[in-house]
Copies of this chain bind each other. A is one copy, B any other.
Amino acid sequence: MTLNISAVERDTGLSKDTLRVWERRYGFPEPARDANGERIYPASQVHKLQLIKRLMDRGHRPGKIVSLSADELAGLSDAARTRAPREEIEILARLIATHQLPELRRQLAQALMKQGLQRFVIDTVAPLNHAVGEAWMRGDIGVFEEHLYTEQIQSALRNALAALQPQGRAPRVLLTTFPHEPHGLGLLMVEALLAVEGAACVPLGTEMPLAEIARAVRAHRVDILALSFSAAFNERQAAAGLAELRAMLPGAVLIWAGGECVARIRKPVEGVELVGELATVVEMIKAWRTLHAGL
């Protein structure tokens, strides 16, 4: 059970160049070679690379952690955890791990009804996302459990969204992600928060080229462009892309960037609102409506 460099790039998100240069500099990974002299990575090294990648997504630096053992890495992820999640979240996480699909659906629907859409997104979905990521780190669940969970949340949110209509002097908001950012759940969560406030959302899905984003902004005459960046996204590329996009768009169009990646961007990007906290979006949309109430 071994993989070539292309498959490792796919499964870890580390570029071929990076994999080669780590090997040269740090001595890890240290793949075997096939008859043709090409790298073949054993599953254990790939798994360790995935662990390292997730730790780097949280701010660790490669030079400090690539040479650590798997146990030491696990220790870091423990150190990185904040506080234990609420019991409600742990119950849901357990349903995911034990594949109890109908019960998971039922409990999600119930939580949504009980809390309302905004609180559901902020108090249930966001921490549950985090808990699911942690569970993956510990090896409690695998990729398919994560995907199945994502599908269920998506289903619940889209269903709730279908019932909502824009109202009043509603801002038009375009939602999308940059190329190489396939995670669309964040967009859906933001769309839910905004739609409740009466915004008219134009969901473009994921991985939209910058030039196309600019075209879409003009075609739909949007007031706000909302972009989502998951933890796995490179913050440098995010900052560069945002600056590029800012230059392409009229100054009147607001750009809001959110997601775990954005929290890691140190230097502010001129003309772009970096949203570190999900709940902030609600404040921001309310502020927008107040500002434009008289028009």
Contact = CB atoms under 8 A, between A and B. Distances in A.
Most buried by B among A151, A178, A213: A151
Range, interface on chain A: 35 or more
Contacts of A142: 212, 215
A162 B155 contact: yes
In the complex this chain forms, how many copies of it are found? Answer: 2
A267 interface: no
A143 B212 contact: yes
A83 interface: no
A204 B147 contact: yes
A220 B142 CA distance: 14
Interface in A201-259: 202-205, 208-213, 215-216, 219-220
Interface string A136-161: 00000011100110110011001101
A144 B208 contact: yes
Nearest to A11: B209
Interface string A92-122: 0000000101000000000000000000000
A182 interface: yes
A63 to B, nearest CB: 22
B211 A43 contact: yes
B99 A148 contact: no
A208 B179 CA distance: 20
Contacts of A211: 1, 11, 43
A80 to B, nearest CB: 23
A124 to B, nearest CB: 18
Contact of A99 (B10, B178, B220): B220
B101 A208 contact: no
Given A43-B211, A159-B159, A209-B143, A151 B101 contact: no
The list of the 3 closest CB pairs from A to B, nearest first, reads A10-B179, A144-B216, A144-B212
8 contacts: A10-B180, A143-B209, A144-B219, A147-B176, A148-B202, A148-B204, A148-B205, A158-B159
